[in-house]
Amino acid sequence: MLIAQNIGFAIIAAIMIVGAIRVVTTSNVVHGALWLVVVLAGAAAQYVLLAAEFVAVTQVLVYIGAVMVLFLFGTMLTRSRIGRDSGLNNTYWKMGIPVALALFAAMAIALIDSFGSEKMPSDGSIVNTQQISDQIFGPYLLPFWALSFVLLAAVIGAIVLARKD
C-alpha cells in the first residue's frame, strides 16, 4: 500500500516538474497554458494521494475548468502570437536561474533540517469533507464572507477594466 503510494507520488511528481519547467521555458504561449494544465492536474492527483478529495475536485473545477479558459482567452485577445514567439523572455532572464537555485537550496536545507525523515501518520484520522464544511461555516465564517466580497469586487473590477467605453 505504502509502496504503491510512493510509486504514484514519484510518477506524478516527475510529470509535474517536467510540466512546470516546460511552462516557464516554452516559446509558445498556448503550449505554456496546456503544460500548466498538466501541472494543475498533477497537483489534483497529489491532493487525492493526501486524502483531500474535496480540494482535488475543487482544483479540477476552478483551475482546469475556469482559470485555464481565462488564460486561453487572455492569450487570444492579446495577440500573443499563436505559435512560436521568441520575445517571451527578458534580456536578463539568465538571472532567474541562480535566484531560483539559491532559493531552492535555502528551502531544502530548512525542510530537511526541520522534518528530516518524519513520516505521514498512516493510521491518522482522515479529514473528510464534513469537517471542512464545519470549519468554513464555523470558525472561518467571517473570512468566508470577506472572500465572497473579494470575488464580487474582482468580478466587477474585471468587467470595469476590460469593457470598451
Partner 1 sequence: MFVNQFLILAAILFCIGVYGVIARKNGVMVLMAIELILNAVNLNLIAFSMRNGSADGQTFALFVIAVAAAEVGVGLSLVLLIYRNRRTISLDDLSEMKG
Using CB under 8 A as the binding rule, the residues of this chain from 77 to 96 that contact partner 1 are 77-80, 85, 87-91, 93-96
Q: Does 64 bind partner 1 (CB under 8 A)?
A: no
- The span from the CA of 75 to the CA of 164, in Å, is 18
Map residues 132-161 to x or -, x wherever contact with partner 1 holds by CB under 8 A: x-xxx---x--xx--x--xx-xxx-xxx-x
Q: Which helix (H) or strand (E) holds 144?
A: helix 141-162
Kindly state the number of chain residues that form the binding site for partner 1, as judged by CB under 8 A. 92
Of 128, 143, 122, 136, give the one whose Cα is nearest residue 54. 128
| Radius of gyration of the chain measured on its C-alpha atoms | 20
Of 18-47, which residues contact partner 1 (CB under 8 A)? 20-21, 23-24, 29, 32-33, 36, 39-40, 43, 46-47
- The span from the CA of 34 to the CA of 86, in Å, is 18
Size of the chain, expressed as the number of residues it contains: 165
Residues 44 and 60: beta-carbon distance below 8 Å: yes
Instruction: Supply the minimum distance, in Å, between the C-beta of residue 151 and partner 1.
Output: 5
Q: Does 4 bind partner 1 (CB under 8 A)?
A: no
Among 11, 62, 82, 141, binds partner 1 (CB under 8 A): 62
Instruction: Supply the minimum distance, in Å, between the C-beta of residue 115 and partner 1.
Output: 5
Q: Does 11 bind partner 1 (CB under 8 A)?
A: no
Q: Which helix (H) or strand (E) holds 31?
A: helix 29-49
Please, which residue, 83 or 134, has the CB nearer to partner 1? 134
Map residues 94-113 to x or -, x wherever contact with partner 1 holds by CB under 8 A: xxxx-xxx-xx--xx--xx-
Quote the DSSP letter at residue 79.
Answer: T
